[in-house]
Amino acid sequence: MPLAWAAPAFDVLQLEDYDWVTGGRGAETAQARAAMAARLGYPMGEQHYFSGFVLEPEDREQWAAIADAADAARRAGVARTFVWAMPQIARDGFTTYDEREGEDEVQAFDAVDFPLSIGREAMVVTEFSTQIVASPSGHEQRASEWAEARMRYDAGPGVRSEGDVRTLAAFFRARRGAARGFRFRDPFDHSSAADGGAPGMADQWLGTGDGSKRRFALVKRYGAGAAVQERTIRLPVAGSVRVSVNGTETTAFSLTDDGEVLLDVAPAVGAAVRAGYLFDVPVRFAEDRLEASRATFLAGELASVPLVEVRAPW
């Protein structure tokens, strides 16, 4: 960087290092930024930071490192931080920091299970959001707004006794209505196995080793070929995760706070990493009130207990 660029030559100093971030060299950013500030004389308040983007959908796990780098720049005091581009952000369902600001309180999450006996009878709704524009000739243009489906449930059918009502009411109060999220076991889809049974060590492909990468996100795929839909799994059930490297099962791994697999030793170049697991869905109560009536309950009417999936970070 030529010294002719030194302040006050320009209004701001704009820095980017997304190839470092996506290449696992994000720890070098702070030192490099300090060196540039010292050389060119722009204070933090006159700097912009470009954190990066993910070009290919199969590399979507890089968003986590990009988000961490953007957050670090914001904490350091730069004037503006950029993550791009909108098509990739929409494709992968990345949540921007503008959307996250001020949500800490309402995004509270309790790592507790919804009462399993009640949840087994839940009604399940899988939803997407699609923009559809029809021309006068009847032709359509369709744009999918979500990279992943969002789940909704109604746990009311599982409320079978007065004891269930008391259990549910206590759980509802502890969550402060819709304010706090929790874990929910989908009665139809809670296993990595295609048949919904016990997980196997090779159920889902997580990635391929490159000799240095140790962290692999848990995913579940639906469909095949060009129509495959990939779901990120963030709440694996403790003790249920099985991992294999090149077809050999290993126990030399741990789970991160984000539910990702962290292998003790990086797989060799080209080694296939696969896993099987049980998992829960992060949800919250969809409403801030819970209605229960002895008269309607004894008459056989089903209660309504709507739940809605929440996106990470919760």
Please write the tens of the pLDDT for every residue from 267-309. Answer: 999 999 999 999 999 999 999 999 877 766 665 566 789 999 9
pTM given for the model:
0.67
Q: Which of 162, 218, 151 is nearest to 187 (CA)?
A: 151
Angle at 65 between CA 275 and CA 6, to 5 degrees: 165
Q: Which segment, 65-69, 234-238, 292-296, is predicted with the most confidence on average?
A: 234-238
Q: Which of 42, 52, 48, 50 is nearest to 78 (CA)?
A: 48
Tokens at residue 221, please? 């795929």
Higher pLDDT, 292 or 190: 190
160 pLDDT more than 90: no
103 pLDDT more than 60: no
Question: What is the residue-averaged pLDDT of the chain?
Answer: 87
Residue 231's DSSP bridge partners are 220
Q: Which of 246, 243, 248, 242 is nearest to 271 (CA)?
A: 246
d(C-alpha 236, C-alpha 280), whole Å: 6
| Helical packing angle, 29-40 and 62-76, nearest 10° | 40
